[in-house]
Chain A
Amino acid sequence: MIWSGIIICGVITFLIRFIPMSGIISKELSPSAKNSFKYIPLAVLTPIIINDLSIFENNTLFLFKNYKIYAGLISIIVAFITNNILATISIGMASYIFMSNFINI
């Protein structure tokens, strides 16, 4: 199951990268197709982030006693200001470690 998943995902990923370069399809995409490609990474990665920052217990969301949400918000601000991957990760991680070890909410 895992092996077949890895191989299928590998083939799909390769085809996504190869098909335009192969010359099989027309170079020009419709504007709406181009627009939707622009939105897909945002639309797929955002729910994954939300899932990683949330704590669900019996399908109930815990918003307030959750250090990850606060650290996530800090890293969003850092990402907006600095536009820097390393700064976003290190400040977000440092604030999470600090809050989870030294602050009791």
Chain B
Amino acid sequence: MKKIEVFKQGIFEELPLQLGVFPFGIIYGIMAIESGLTPMQAFLMSSIIFGGASQVAFVQLISSNTPFGVIVTTVGAINSRHFLYSISMMEYLKSLSLKWRIVLAYLLTDEAYAISIRKFINEPNISFLHFHLLGTGMTLFLSWQTSTLMGVFLGGDLPQFLDLQFIIPLTFIAIIVPMIKSVSTFLVVIASAFSGLILKSLDINFWIIISGIIGVVIGLASSRLDK
């Protein structure tokens, strides 16, 4: 296969996922402006961080005057799963130049990984595999930037009764529910939900981080129940 064919395959396989990504980007753009960010900040955050759920969490926490350290830690925690994606990609990309690995690491998001890793596992011997990840990653990048821009500039014109901000928790629900596949993951959700509610009602600053830590500890402690 030629480079351009592998690249195009990445683009075409990534396109259907944009049905979910595009509205999410618009919502992020709207929320960012409503949270007090300038259009430039809202737009450039999508290129600088380039991580949907973490960007939404960032603007939500900014709007509720959350301490800076909590925001940074939350963004890092939400994106920490990309560390595992990168480990599993390393096997296929280790022979590439540093320049390539920098570009592909930047483009390594949930949706690009989900499509490209399938290709990498199923057809590990085809040439120019990295062009597939370039195709999926660039498709997602362009879609995310365009939808952010639409949210930033069109947001104010959307009807109020829609209360589009509610799409954010719904999107997070759609992301995490399929992850609940075992007793331990179920207990993580229950523990972090209840500790979040209690800590929030006690007005504790680092409630997201503390309840997240409680959830992970409960998960690790109960992981034996999965076997």
Give A contacts to B, CB under 8 Å.
1-3, 5-10, 12-14, 16-23, 27, 29, 32, 34-54, 56, 59-61, 68, 71-72, 75-76, 79-80, 83-86, 88-89, 92-93, 96-97, 100-101
Contacts and interface: CB of A to CB of B under 8 A. Distances in A.
Nearest to B203: A59
A17 B105 contact: yes
* Central interface residue in B23, B77, B170, by most chain A CB within 10 Å: B170
A44 B77 contact: yes
B173 A49 contact: yes
Contacts of A61: 197, 201
B79 interface: yes
Given A43-B212, A51-B200, A72-B169, A17 B80 contact: no
Tell me if A's interface is mostly helix, strand, loop or mixed: helix
8 contacts: A17-B105, A21-B104, A35-B223, A45-B53, A45-B78, A50-B200, A54-B197, A89-B20
B87 A72 contact: no
Interface of B: 19-20, 23, 37, 41, 44-45, 48-51, 53-54, 57-58, 60, 62, 68, 71-72, 74-87, 89-91, 93-94, 98, 101-102, 104-106, 108, 161-163, 165-180, 184-185, 188-189, 191-193, 195-197, 200-203, 207-208, 211-216, 219-220, 223
Given A32-B220, A46-B215, A85 B86 contact: no
B164 to A, nearest CB: 8
B163 A7 contact: no
A42 B192 contact: yes
A21 to B, nearest CB: 5
B212 A88 contact: no
Given A2-B37, A46-B215, A80-B177, A13 B193 contact: no
A2 B165 CA distance: 21
